[in-house]
Structure formats: structure tokens, C-alpha cells
Amino acid sequence: MQIYKLGEIKDKEAALKKLGVESGGASIMAKKMELMHFYIKDLKTPAANILKQDALSIGAELAVPGGVILCEKPTYDCILIGTKKHIEILSRKELAQPFGLKALAGELKKFLSNKTYPTRIMGIINANDDSFFEGSRFVAGDAIVQCEKMIADGAEIIDIGAVSSRPGSKEVSAEEELERVKPICDAIREQKLYEKALFSIDSYMPSVVEYTLKSGFGLINDITGASDDEIIKLAVKYKAKLCIMHMQGTPQTMQKEPCYEDVTAEVSAFFEARIAKCEAMGVSREQIILDVGIGFGKSLEHNLTLLKNMHHFTHFGCEVLIGASRKSMIHKIIPTPTEERLPGTLAIHLKAVENGASIVRCHDVAEHNQAIKVLEAIREI
């Protein structure tokens, strides 16, 4: 006899069927192979005691601070630990319980039917001369050549911007922004490049966004997170996808001592509110992409926490975008000039993909395409 510890199994049900487990049994066992952890904030003390007993009764666990059983405080933070099967049982069981457990059951249910998306690469083209990475700056004809190269290298999305959003960057008028991006848009329309890839506009100016949508673009990459109703209306009018990014402050102020009580919870609450607003105005959830905004009003610790908890954001049912290409968080971990941050970028992006991100926004398309293909080959075994 031999025994060895298995690594992560991506498709658990398929692995069981390959072993010869009959179909019904494979489905049941697969749910027992997936361990889930949930951080629950401010759970009412009676609810914590009930949930603790219910979890233990089925073989799950609720980690609670000392003092819960004596009801020393009105609420506590807890960590719920269990298999997917355990969470299914608890999401039904707690529907009959008081003290807010019915609402908790509804939230747990959302995590049981996550929609998965194939990984796609978004290449970056900057039509301005002050973006933080010089290698992403292109104008007119050169930009079109680079678009075609990125598509050939594996990019399914091309993100074009004309205004730098790096920390402390200067504001630019809508007129100047349009003047920078217009020649590229015109060439994309004339050459019908939109038939080869999905083109994205990195802008929150309605006049600029509408011009690009008329030119064949199909995605609005809004760093202000759909704060302007006019942007949402344009997404509805042109049936365009809309990427909602979280940013604390503005590019001019965002890195001046960013502060959160709980960055994951606060970014999640932001997305929940903005998704509800977009849906109320006519944008379908399938049109929405979420971006946690790495480096946009976040410290290194905030960025790392969001990367670690990336999978949480998939429960909204939207595609999740990661964009940390060559950003300063790499320099904060290990001092490195912008031009030499590709290895750190790949490490961040591959981990984000493992944790649920499906769109990777990057400067180095060919390198990312190779890395992601290798990662997918490993995961498929």
C-alpha cells in the first residue's frame, strides 16, 4: 500500500467520477471535500450561541471569542468553518432561527452557487504621456499596432485610457481626454478591430465614454465605481459591460493615509450598493464586472488582504477583475523599479486567479498568457 496527500482538486466531482464513484455519490462527496470559512461580523450573542450548537451538531464549527457563552457583550465576531455540505445544511437550518440568523442563512446561500468564468487577459494601452509605466504609452498608429500585437499575444480585451490615475495625478478636461483618445477610436472603428477583441475605455467622462461606445467599444472601465448616473445610462443605452472599481478618495488624495475598519467588508458593502443602483437603472448583473481597486486608496496591508479574500467577491455573480500590473505594492514588498516588476506582477495575478479573479488587466500580455496557460494546465490535472 502507498499513500500520499493530494493537492487542490479543482473539479472535485470529476475527480471522484474518474475514480469510479457513481454519479449521485460523487455529487454528495464533492460537497464534503470543499472546506469553507466565513468571517461573521457583529453577530448577536444569542445567535452566536445557537449557531455554535447547530454547527457542532452537524460536524461543523463556529470559532467564537471567550465570553460568548456568558453573554458578556451584545455582539461578537466569529469564524464559521465547515464543508460545502455543512454550509448547505446550516443555510436551511438557520432559516427557522431568530436573532438575525434567517438573514445570515440567506447570505450563506449566496456563496453556494458561485458562477465561474473563464480567465481573460485585458491588455493596457495609455494614450497619455504621464502614465506610471512608460512601456504602456502609445499614440495613434503606434497604439493600433500594439493593440494588434496584444490580440495576437492572447488578449481578449484591450483597455484604452487617456488620463493617468496614478496617485497625485493631475485632472484633465473631458475635451483634452477626448482629443487624446479620438484618433485611436477612429482607427479601431475604421479597421473594425472591435471584431477581434472587446475594447474597453478607461474613463468616467460621459462625453468620452459615449464617443468610444459609438466607435465599437463594449466595456466601460470606471475607476469612480459608477458614481455618475450618466455612465450607467450609457451602459444601458449601448448594452455595454460596466466595470465598477472601488476607490477611497480620488487619484489626487487616495494614498494619503487610507483607512478602513475592515477593508473586505467595506469594499463588499460598496459593491452591493453600486450593483443594486446599476440594476435599478437597467444594467443586468451579467453586464457588471467588479474591481477591488488595488492601489486605489489602499495600503499594502489592505491590498494583500483583498487579494487573500478575493474569492469573497465572486459571490455577487459578476466577473472579478484584478489589476496590479507593475504597481507600487510590489516595490513596498521588495524595492524594485517599475520596469523590473513583472515577476511580482505575475505572482499577484496568478494568486488572484486562483482566488477567483477572471479578468487580468496587465501591461505584459504574452508573459501573462503563458503563465495563465501553465497554471490552468496544473489546475486541470
Does residue 156 sit in helix, strand or coil?
coil
DSSP string for 172-212: --HHHHHHHHHHHHHHHHHTTGGGTSEEEEE---HHHHHHH
Q: Say how far apart CA 52 and CA 73 lie, in whole Å.
A: 16
Q: How many residues does the chain have?
A: 381
User: How many other CB atoms are there within 10 angstroms of residue 245's CB atom?
Assistant: 25
DSSP string for 265-332: HHHHHHHHHHHHHHHHTT--GGGEEEE--TTSS--HHHHHHHHHTGGGGGGGSSEEEE--TT-HHHHH
Note whether 58 and 90 are within 8 A (CB): yes
Q: Say how far apart CA 329 and CA 331 lie, in whole Å.
A: 5
Q: Say how far apart CA 121 and CA 323 lie, in whole Å.
A: 10
Q: Say how far apart CA 127 and CA 178 lie, in whole Å.
A: 10
Catalytically annotated residue among 44, 180, 326, 361:
361
Q: Say how far apart CA 343 and CA 325 lie, in whole Å.
A: 10
CA dihedral sign, ordered 211, 279, 171, 148: negative
Q: Is 180 a catalytic residue?
A: no
Under the phi-then-psi rule, with left for phi > 0, alpha for psi from -120 to 50, and beta for the rest, what region is 358? Answer: alpha
Catalytically annotated residue among 52, 120, 327, 341:
327
| Angle formed at CA 117 by CA 152 and CA 325, multiple of 5 degrees | 55
Q: Say how far apart CA 173 and CA 191 lie, in whole Å.
A: 28
Among 191, 187, 236, 230, smallest CA distance to 212 is for 187
Q: What is the crossing angle of helices 101-110 and 84-93, to 10°?
A: 140
Q: Is 361 a catalytic residue?
A: yes
Note whether 240 and 219 are within 8 A (CB): yes
Q: Say how far apart CA 162 and CA 180 lie, in whole Å.
A: 6
**Residues designated catalytic:** 327, 361
